Structure 1
Amino acid sequence: MAKKKNFPLRIDPALYEVIERWAQDEFRSVNAHIEFLLREAAKREGRLKKEKKEQEG
Protein backbone atom coordinates (compact mmCIF):
# COMPACT_ATOMS: atom_id res chain seq x y z
CA MET A 1 0.00 0.00 0.00
CA ALA A 2 1.26 3.47 -0.85
CA LYS A 3 2.15 5.83 1.95
CA LYS A 4 -0.66 8.24 2.73
CA LYS A 5 -0.23 12.00 2.72
CA ASN A 6 -0.84 13.78 6.03
CA PHE A 7 -2.25 17.30 6.10
CA PRO A 8 -4.29 19.46 8.49
CA LEU A 9 -7.98 19.88 7.74
CA ARG A 10 -10.13 22.70 9.04
CA ILE A 11 -13.81 21.80 8.98
CA ASP A 12 -16.99 23.33 10.32
CA PRO A 13 -17.85 21.66 13.65
CA ALA A 14 -21.45 20.96 12.60
CA LEU A 15 -20.26 19.26 9.41
CA TYR A 16 -17.72 17.26 11.43
CA GLU A 17 -20.52 15.98 13.68
CA VAL A 18 -22.53 14.88 10.62
CA ILE A 19 -19.52 13.06 9.17
CA GLU A 20 -18.69 11.53 12.55
CA ARG A 21 -22.21 10.05 12.90
CA TRP A 22 -22.18 8.92 9.27
CA ALA A 23 -18.80 7.23 9.74
CA GLN A 24 -20.13 5.38 12.79
CA ASP A 25 -23.11 4.18 10.75
CA GLU A 26 -20.69 2.79 8.13
CA PHE A 27 -18.28 1.31 10.74
CA ARG A 28 -15.44 3.59 9.62
CA SER A 29 -13.22 6.11 11.35
CA VAL A 30 -13.89 9.74 10.53
CA ASN A 31 -10.61 9.89 8.62
CA ALA A 32 -11.43 6.77 6.59
CA HIS A 33 -14.92 8.05 5.85
CA ILE A 34 -13.66 11.44 4.65
CA GLU A 35 -11.22 9.62 2.35
CA PHE A 36 -14.03 7.35 1.12
CA LEU A 37 -16.30 10.32 0.36
CA LEU A 38 -13.53 12.19 -1.46
CA ARG A 39 -12.58 9.10 -3.48
CA GLU A 40 -16.21 8.48 -4.49
CA ALA A 41 -16.64 12.12 -5.55
CA ALA A 42 -13.41 12.02 -7.57
CA LYS A 43 -14.53 8.80 -9.31
CA ARG A 44 -17.98 10.22 -10.04
CA GLU A 45 -16.42 13.30 -11.65
CA GLY A 46 -14.00 11.22 -13.72
CA ARG A 47 -10.94 12.65 -11.98
CA LEU A 48 -9.65 9.39 -10.52
CA LYS A 49 -8.47 6.48 -12.62
CA LYS A 50 -10.27 3.21 -11.98
CA GLU A 51 -8.55 1.00 -9.47
CA LYS A 52 -6.80 -2.16 -10.67
CA LYS A 53 -9.42 -4.48 -9.12
CA GLU A 54 -12.21 -2.74 -11.05
CA GLN A 55 -10.27 -2.97 -14.34
CA GLU A 56 -9.68 -6.72 -13.93
CA GLY A 57 -13.30 -7.50 -13.02
Structure 2
Amino acid sequence: MTERKAFQLRISAEILAATQRWADDELRSLNAQIEYVLRDALRKAGRLQKPDGQNPEDEP
Protein backbone atom coordinates (compact mmCIF):
# COMPACT_ATOMS: atom_id res chain seq x y z
CA MET A 1 0.00 0.00 0.00
CA THR A 2 1.18 3.51 -0.79
CA GLU A 3 2.49 5.55 2.12
CA ARG A 4 0.30 8.58 2.81
CA LYS A 5 1.54 11.87 4.22
CA ALA A 6 -0.47 14.75 5.59
CA PHE A 7 0.33 18.40 4.93
CA GLN A 8 -1.39 21.75 5.12
CA LEU A 9 -2.54 23.44 1.93
CA ARG A 10 -3.23 27.14 1.54
CA ILE A 11 -5.84 27.61 -1.17
CA SER A 12 -8.22 30.40 -2.13
CA ALA A 13 -11.83 30.07 -1.02
CA GLU A 14 -12.98 30.24 -4.65
CA ILE A 15 -10.75 27.35 -5.74
CA LEU A 16 -11.69 25.32 -2.67
CA ALA A 17 -15.42 25.78 -3.29
CA ALA A 18 -15.12 24.87 -6.97
CA THR A 19 -13.05 21.79 -6.13
CA GLN A 20 -15.58 20.74 -3.49
CA ARG A 21 -18.43 21.05 -6.02
CA TRP A 22 -16.42 18.97 -8.51
CA ALA A 23 -15.70 16.35 -5.84
CA ASP A 24 -19.41 16.20 -4.96
CA ASP A 25 -20.30 15.71 -8.63
CA GLU A 26 -17.75 12.86 -8.90
CA LEU A 27 -18.83 11.30 -5.56
CA ARG A 28 -15.34 11.77 -4.11
CA SER A 29 -14.10 13.40 -0.94
CA LEU A 30 -12.37 16.75 -1.33
CA ASN A 31 -9.04 15.10 -0.47
CA ALA A 32 -9.55 12.35 -3.05
CA GLN A 33 -10.49 14.93 -5.70
CA ILE A 34 -7.35 16.99 -5.07
CA GLU A 35 -5.22 13.84 -5.28
CA TYR A 36 -7.01 12.76 -8.48
CA VAL A 37 -6.40 16.14 -10.15
CA LEU A 38 -2.74 16.21 -9.10
CA ARG A 39 -2.15 12.61 -10.23
CA ASP A 40 -3.77 13.30 -13.61
CA ALA A 41 -1.68 16.46 -14.12
CA LEU A 42 1.52 14.63 -13.14
CA ARG A 43 0.73 11.73 -15.49
CA LYS A 44 0.01 14.09 -18.41
CA ALA A 45 3.25 15.98 -17.75
CA GLY A 46 5.24 12.72 -17.68
CA ARG A 47 6.29 13.32 -14.08
CA LEU A 48 4.63 10.36 -12.37
CA GLN A 49 6.62 7.15 -12.03
CA LYS A 50 5.20 4.07 -13.67
CA PRO A 51 4.10 1.23 -11.34
CA ASP A 52 7.37 -0.66 -11.97
CA GLY A 53 9.31 2.30 -10.52
CA GLN A 54 10.55 3.58 -13.88
CA ASN A 55 10.35 7.31 -14.52
CA PRO A 56 8.83 8.01 -17.99
CA GLU A 57 11.67 10.49 -18.65
CA ASP A 58 14.20 7.63 -18.35
CA GLU A 59 12.89 5.84 -21.43
CA PRO A 60 14.93 6.02 -24.67
Which residue of structure 2 aligns with residue 2 of structure 1? 2
TM-score (ref. length: structure 1): 0.84
Task: Kindly indicate whether the alpha-carbon contact (under 8 Å) linking 1:43 and 1:50 is maintained by their aligned counterparts in 2.
Answer: no
- The structure having more radius of gyration, on CA atoms, is 2
**Structure 1 unaligned blocks of 5 or more:** 53-57
TM-score (ref. length: structure 2): 0.80
Q: Percent same amino acid among aligned pairs?
A: 46
Q: Which runs of 4+ in 1 moved over 6 A?
A: none
Task: Kindly indicate whether the alpha-carbon contact (under 8 Å) linking 1:20 and 1:30 is maintained by their aligned counterparts in 2.
Answer: yes
**Structure 2 unaligned blocks of 5 or more:** 53-60
Paired residues in the alignment total 52
User: Aligned-pair RMSD on alpha carbons?
Assistant: 1.1
